[in-house]
Amino acid sequence: MRIIVTGGAGFIGSWVCEAYISEGHEVLVVDNLSTGSEDNIPPEAEFIECDVRDFARLEKAFRQFRPQIVNHHAAQINVRSSVENPGFDADVNIGGSLNVLRLCAEHKAEKFIFSSTGGALYGEPEKLPAGESTPALPLSPYGISKLSTENYVRYHSKNHGFGHVILRYANVYGERQNPEGEAGVIGIFCEKIISGEPCLIFGDGEQTRDYVHVSDVSRANLLAATLKEEGTFNIGTSIEISVNDIVRILGEVTKIEFTTIHEKERPGEVRRISLDCSLVAEKLGWSAQATLHEGLSSTWGWFSRRRD
């Protein structure tokens, strides 16, 4: 298959490219390198430096590469930036996505795979873990732009004859992770531990997230490429992990006695979230394999090697 991966120079996108290439697919990365890096792109992939908001340049990439599948990872990913500048967030995450969707229709792509969010979509659900039918009540412009794009994906898919799979990621962490992403705390703590500085915890540290390792997320993207059905799936572990748990496990993994300091809770942040992943287990046969201990060990290994 010929697959375009937008955002393929980023953290998750580059893992997805590697997974596709390992299965013999041809990959074209479309990325403006705003938060990604050319070093992340596997050498076997083609690359075009292009902003998804630049319709003319994007059109040229579609015309020349003729993708069968488009996997859309390019996005403004910072929840706090979206609060400060919702217009920019919408411009990239909705406007850019609309360009990609329009070109899928015009160039007769067969399938669109979209990286949405489970961590920032459901707000504060009454029942955890939250299933896909939990009301989507995002607390941030980032969550709103992802939800809106999900709806545009379903609309374009239905009206323009291509299939779609929407993956609602929990908090994705791992090697090459971007500290601005939804699981940024892990990357930030690793860097603080390396530089001997204290790790900053907002509030009491009992706020929870569902942390899924990027190797499991890239495997979900591989399965999504061959799935015959369409659908929207949570991708996580269903386990609630607090910031205090992360501190404890990082202590075990690094064997370093680092210090923590607490600051006031940040407004607008979700208190507790975890995702019910029974639907994706049933339809794709996917479930997270890496334990948090294993995932944090490999992530810490990467951060320490990078320091050396």
Catalytic residues: 142
Q: Which is nearer to ligand NAD, 7 or 138 (CB)?
A: 7
Least distance CB 58 / ligand NAD (angstroms): 9
Least distance CB 180 / ligand NAD (angstroms): 7
Q: Which is nearer to ligand NAD, 172 or 227 (CB)?
A: 172
Written as six digits, the tokens of 62 are: 């579609």
Written as six digits, the tokens of 107 are: 């160039």
Can you tell me the distance from the alpha carbon of 67 to that of 3, in angstroms, rounded to the nearest whole number?
A: 5
Tell how strand 211-213 and strand 171-173 pair up: parallel
Q: Which is nearer to ligand NAD, 95 or 205 (CB)?
A: 95
Residue 280's SS3 state is helix
Least distance CB 234 / ligand NAD (angstroms): 11
Q: Classify the C-alpha dihedral 26-20-11-146 as positive or negative.
A: positive
- DSSP characters over 64-92: HH--SEEEE------HHHHHH-HHHHHII
Q: Which is nearer to ligand NAD, 32 or 207 (CB)?
A: 32
Written as six digits, the tokens of 193 are: 């531990």
Task: Specify whether the CB–CB gap between 211 and 186 falls below 8 A.
Answer: yes
Task: Specify whether the CB–CB gap between 164 and 113 falls below 8 A.
Answer: yes
Binding residues vs ligand NAD (CB under 6 A): 7, 9-13, 31-36, 51-53, 73-77, 92, 96, 115, 117, 119, 169, 171-172, 178, 181-183
Q: Which is nearer to ligand NAD, 201 or 214 (CB)?
A: 214
Distances (CA, A) of 277 to 103, 133, 179, 226, 288: 31, 12, 25, 19, 9
Least distance CB 197 / ligand NAD (angstroms): 23
Least distance CB 6 / ligand NAD (angstroms): 6
